[in-house]
């Protein structure tokens, strides 16, 4: 290989430049994520299904999910709604770990969708 030969590279979000042939396609990444989500415990999968449903309804142009500086309170409100839906009218509504799990799943799902939205927006 000639030292001046062009090697196609892609810039990662971190700023790191890597060769394009090592890039994982969005479809491969999606399949991998779905496979790993199947390994979640049953209750976490139930919660994730509710989170994904709620995020599906927020996935539109101009959504607070895609704002340059999203409001943390919006995502916490979504987490509280899901928590209330799971707990129903249960007397004990002080499960702090469950609340935190839901918050993490909401923030993670929004982060994944924001990344996909930004990648796709570059092409259109």
Chain segment 100-114, per-residue pLDDT in tens = 999 999 999 998 888
Say how far apart CA 65 and CA 6 lie, in whole Å. 39
Contact yes or no for 66/114 (Cβ under 8 A): yes
Position 3 in a domain? no
Q: Identify whether 100 is part of a domain.
A: yes
For 9-35, what is the mean pLDDT?
69
The predicted-structure confidence for 27-84, as pLDDT tens digits, reads as follows 888 888 889 989 999 999 999 999 999 999 988 888 888 888 888 999 999 999 999 9
Side-chain-side CA neighbours of residue 52 (13 Å): 9
Q: How many domains does the chain have?
A: 1
**Domain-embedded: residue 83:** yes
Of the given ranges (7-16, 37-46, 62-71, 88-97), which has the lowest mean pLDDT? 7-16
Which residue segment(s) compose the domain that 51 sits in?
A: 25-123
User: Does any domain span residue 72?
Assistant: yes
């Amino acid at each position: 290989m000639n030292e001046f030969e062009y090697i196609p590279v892609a810039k990662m979000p971190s700023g790191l430049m890597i060769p394009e042939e090592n890039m994982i396609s969005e479809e491969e990444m999606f399949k991998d994520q779905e496979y790993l989500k199947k390994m979640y415990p049953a209750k976490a999968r139930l919660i994730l299904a509710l989170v994904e449903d709620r995020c599906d309804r927020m996935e539109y142009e101009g959504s607070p999910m895609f704002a340059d500086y999203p409001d943390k309170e919006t995502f916490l409100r979504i987490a509280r709604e899901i928590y209330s839906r799971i707990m129903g009218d249960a007397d004990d509504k002080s499960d702090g770990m469950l609340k935190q799990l839901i918050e993490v799943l909401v923030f993670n799902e929004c982060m994944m969708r924001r990344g996909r939205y930004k990648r796709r927006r570059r092409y259109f």
